Amino acid sequence: MQSLAQEIQSFSRTRLKKQCTRVTSLSGRRIIETWKGTSITVEEEHGAAGRALGYVPDTSWDLQVGAIRPYLLLGSQDAAHDFATLQKHKVSHILNVAFGVDNVFPELFIYKTISILDQPDTKLTPHIQECCDFITQARNEKGVVLVHCNTGVSRAPAVIIGYLMSCDSLSFEDALSLVQTARPNSAPNPGFMEQLQKYQSPAMNGGLH
């Protein structure tokens, strides 16, 4: 009977099973990576489109900008990074409430960055007053402010809802409706929604706490 050491020494690569890995690239192209001996062969998978389950990644830019007020816009980081879009909407101020997203035109626009994590347990309301101050500054300077996060779906809409409740005395329901009308895919995470709903009463009584 061979010892384990002898079995390992006598083992041949030819006894290894051929291993295949299927990969879907960002462009949606499907390829097969096959190990043969010590090398890897890459080939495109044919006829997979009809059989494949999953998703097709959307790599197009989201340049849709929602107008909340003439001076207040809502969008994604794509809109904030596209100079033509910013020019088109006469943006002068940019409020960046994303986490880890750069301000790409610091010499051309007035920026305010407040890094907020898009997590249900993130405390949103302590940031609202600072956001309100910046939006009010843009308005007083006859400017137009774009509020954005990464996708313009959760954090930026939540901040604008808070602003509308605080500075325009809107109810939570009216502020949410206005934001979703301007940008239909707006959907603050459940934690933000709960905080803003609870926030309604003090906001209507003269300020956020």
State how far the Cα of 156 lies from the Cα of 150, in Å rounded to an integer.
9
1 C-beta neighbours (distance < 10 Å), count: 4
Of 17, 54, 25, the C-alpha closest to 42 is 25
Q: Which two tokens stand for residue 52?
A: 């494949």
State how far the Cα of 18 lies from the Cα of 32, in Å rounded to an integer.
12
Looking up tokens 């389950």, which residue turns up?
A: 53
Residues tagged active-site = 149
Q: Which two tokens stand for residue 8?
A: 């390992």
Handedness of CA 156, 163, 146, 176 (dihedral sign): positive
